[in-house]
């Protein structure tokens, strides 16, 4: 179905809920959390009001970028069961309105953080929006199975934004936090894509399991989880974090490695398709969310105590 055809769909009335859903609020919570931790652990005093504005700006940016993503992806979202009832493909919000809403929020977020803090934070946030909308959504998502590896960097910028807002600079610790989210994204998303894979195939999105198959994806999940373990322990190795983070990271990494191994060893047919209803992949996806939240929580506790 072409985007033009969808754009011409008759519209039914939108609700406040639709405008809220355009912001991808559930994903936003964790993105904003990582940005807030970047702000909290920075070695600078931040006025609480300014801190609240920074967190709000990251939330508005994530929401704005999400709305533009939903505008652009309305053709593929209409094909996938998971996304077909979203406000734009379901015809409750006109594509042009979703685009205008996303652009307005994106501009607002950059102005807000720039006026409240500094240009380093504003430029980093603007680049983050650009990366998610243009590099990931418009370019990589539809063109390569490495889409979420390279494009996934978009979701890794918020800790740098938070730190930059507090200090006016980009430090080594937030860069390591960026790297953690970067290496976390493939096991996070590929675990999900193992059992949501058919949808992506139908929509023509070249996600890894669609292009390379489930067996290859299982190996990639394990490889990236090992890389994630190495990266998440780097702050400990170079003395940027202390024992609280060291213990938390070691335990969380051990759990993720066990689950990634279970995904690899899941009972499967010759093509790698699960015979257990993808139970291990579902567990790994859920664990990925708890992992990132707990790891960032541990950095914060470790640095502030």
Ligand X SMILES: CC(C)=CCC/C(C)=C/CC/C(C)=C/COP(=O)(O)OP(=O)(O)O
By the criterion CB under 6 A, which residues form the site for ligand HEM? 26-27, 29-31, 34, 82, 136, 148, 151-152, 155, 181, 185, 188-189, 192, 289, 292
Q: Are 58 and 29 in contact (CB under 8 A)?
A: no
> What is the closest distance, in whole angstroms, from the C-beta atom of residue 149 to ligand X in the complex?
12
Residue 192 contact, options ligand X, ligand HEM, none, Cβ 5-8 Å cut-off depending on partner type: ligand HEM
The pair of three-digit structure tokens given for residue 262, joined into one six-digit string: 């279970």
Residue 30 contact, options ligand X, ligand HEM, none, Cβ 5-8 Å cut-off depending on partner type: ligand HEM
Question: Between 68 and 87, how does the x/- string for binding to ligand X read (CB under 6 A)?
Answer: -x---x---------x----
Q: Using the CB atoms, write b or e for 200-236: b if 16+ within 10 Å.
A: beebebbbbbbeeebbebbebbbebbbbbbebbbebb
C-beta closer to ligand HEM: residue 56 or 242: 56
Q: What is the helix, strand, coil percentage profile of the chain, to 5?
A: 75, 0, 25
Stretch that binds ligand X, among 3-11, 129-137, 164-172, 260-268 (CB under 6 A): 129-137
61 binds ligand X (CB under 6 A): yes
249 binds ligand X (CB under 6 A): no
Residue 181 contact, options ligand HEM, ligand X, none, Cβ 5-8 Å cut-off depending on partner type: ligand HEM
Rounded to 5 degrees, φ, ψ at 73 are: -90, 15
As a whole number of angstroms, the distance between CA 89 and CA 199 comes to 15
C-beta closer to ligand X: residue 106 or 241: 106
> What is the closest distance, in whole angstroms, from the C-beta atom of residue 34 to ligand HEM in the complex?
5
> What is the closest distance, in whole angstroms, from the C-beta atom of residue 79 to ligand X in the complex?
11
34 binds ligand X (CB under 6 A): no
- Residue 101 burial by CB count (10 A; 0-12/13-18/19+): exposed, middle or buried? buried
First-last CA distance in the chain: 55
Distant-in-sequence, close-in-space partners of 99: CB < 8 Å, separation ≥ 6 = 67, 68, 71
The pair of three-digit structure tokens given for residue 289, joined into one six-digit string: 């969310």
Residue 87 contact, options ligand HEM, ligand X, none, Cβ 5-8 Å cut-off depending on partner type: none
> What is the closest distance, in whole angstroms, from the C-beta atom of residue 182 to ligand HEM in the complex?
9
**3-class secondary structure, 213:** coil
From candidates 71, 132, 183, 296, binder to ligand X by CB under 6 A: 132
Alpha carbons within 13 A on the beta-carbon side of 72: 18
18 binds ligand X (CB under 6 A): no
As a whole number of angstroms, the distance between CA 265 and CA 169 comes to 44
Nearest to 37 by CA among 223, 245, 272: 245
C-beta closer to ligand HEM: residue 1 or 290: 290
246 binds ligand X (CB under 6 A): no
List interacting residues with ligand X (CB under 6 A): 24, 27, 31, 58, 61-62, 65-66, 69, 73, 83, 128-129, 132, 137, 141, 154-155, 158
């Amino acid at each position: 179905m072409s985007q033009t055809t969808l754009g011409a769909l008759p519209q039914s009335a939108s609700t406040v809920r639709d405008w809220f859903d355009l912001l991808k609020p559930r994903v936003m919570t964790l993105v904003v959390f990582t940005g807030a931790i970047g702000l909290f652990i920075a070695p600078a005093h931040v006025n609480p009001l300014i801190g609240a504005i920074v967190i709000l700006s990251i939330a508005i940016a994530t929401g704005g970028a999400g709305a533009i993503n939903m505008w652009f992806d309305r053709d593929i979202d209409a094909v996938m069961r998971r996304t077909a009832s979203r406000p734009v493909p379901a015809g409750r919000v006109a594509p042009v309105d979703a685009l205008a809403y996303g652009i307005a929020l994106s501009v607002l977020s950059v102005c807000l953080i720039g006026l409240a803090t500094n240009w380093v934070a504003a430029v980093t946030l603007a680049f983050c929006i650009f990366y998610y909308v243009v590099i990931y959504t418009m370019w990589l998502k539809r063109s390569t199975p490495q889409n979420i590896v390279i494009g996934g960097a978009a979701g890794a910028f918020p800790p740098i934004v938070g730190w930059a807002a507090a200090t006016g600079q980009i430090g080594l610790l937030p860069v390591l936090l960026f790297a953690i989210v970067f290496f976390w994204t493939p096991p996070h998303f590929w675990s999900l894509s193992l059992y949501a894979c058919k949808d992506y195939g139908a929509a023509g999105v070249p996600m890894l399991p669609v292009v390379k198959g489930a067996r290859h994806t299982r190996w990639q999940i394990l490889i990236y989880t090992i890389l994630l373990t190495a990266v998440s322990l780097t702050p400990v190795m170079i003395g940027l974090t202390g024992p609280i983070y060291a213990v938390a990271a070691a335990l969380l990494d051990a759990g993720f490695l066990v689950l990634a191994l279970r995904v690899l060893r899941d009972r499967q047919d010759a093509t790698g398709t699960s015979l257990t209803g993808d139970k291990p992949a579902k567990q790994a996806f859920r664990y990925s969310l708890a992992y990132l939240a707990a790891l960032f929580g541990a950095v914060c506790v470790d640095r502030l105590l």
